[in-house]
Structure 1
Amino acid sequence: MLSPDHRLTGADSFRSATRGRRAGTRTLVVHLALGEGHDPARVGLVVSKAVGNAVVRNRVKRRLRHLAREHVSSLPGAAVLVVRALPAAAGATYPELGADLARGLDRVLA
């Protein structure tokens, strides 16, 4: 679970990440906007109904939340990260989601 300091809330915060860099993989699209200041990095997840029913969406969200927690310490300060799940995420295994998230983060941080 992400700590409250690292959670992204509010539509404006999510929109701010779309002004940054973007990288897509088979199962995810990663948006990263670098901010200024000493705020902690924040992470938000977007899992739409296109991914599947409520059970599937919640499973994908739980997996992504856990994976994002592992990467939040490597993000620059005041960064805003939004991870959007694509329909292919419904059938992806935990290691596949982890590899796609790492690949997407490497691309936007490069």
Structure 2
Amino acid sequence: MRRGEDFAVAIRRGDRAGRRTLVVHMKRRDELDTPPLVGFVVSRAVGGAVTRNLVKRRLRHLMRDRLHLLPRGSLLVVRANPPAASARFERLAAELDVALDRLLGRRGSDPQARTDGRR
């Protein structure tokens, strides 16, 4: 996702699921002919440029494996909170899974059982 309008729509009009290290906003759209779009927000509150880029790369890598879970045409924004800077990769994965499960309506999974980011 690159357009500011898409970020604004997902954040202002979409559903939200927050965790300690990140917040995920998702807006479902009726445009079934387009793939889901994902954007990342990592502010200066997370850390310096090197830290922000590291967090963004980790989140991008995690979302790559979960992209198939998103409905077609949806807009998803992953916003990193300051604790994401010191969180281990496995913790980011687990919290992203819990947030996505909540947004996608899958309540059957136990967030404590998944610490390695796998299903």
TM more than 0.5? yes
Gaps of 5+ in 2: 106-119
- Higher RCO, Cα 8 Å, sep 6+: 1
Distance of 2:54 and 2:88 partners within structure 1: 11
Q: Is the radius of gyration larger for structure 1 or structure 2?
A: 2
How far off is 1:109 after superposition?
A: 1.1
Distance of 2:29 and 2:65 partners within structure 1: 20
TM-score (norm 2): 0.85
Number of residue pairs the alignment of both structures matches: 103
Distance of 2:58 and 2:82 partners within structure 1: 15
Instruction: Show the counterpart of 1:66.
Output: 61
How far off is 1:9 after superposition?
A: 0.7
Distance of 2:100 and 2:9 partners within structure 1: 17
TM-score (norm 1): 0.92
Match of 2:20 among 26, 30, 33: 26
Runs (4 or more) in structure 1 with deviation over 3 Å come to none
Instruction: Show the counterpart of 1:11.
Output: 4
Instruction: Show the counterpart of 2:104.
Output: 109
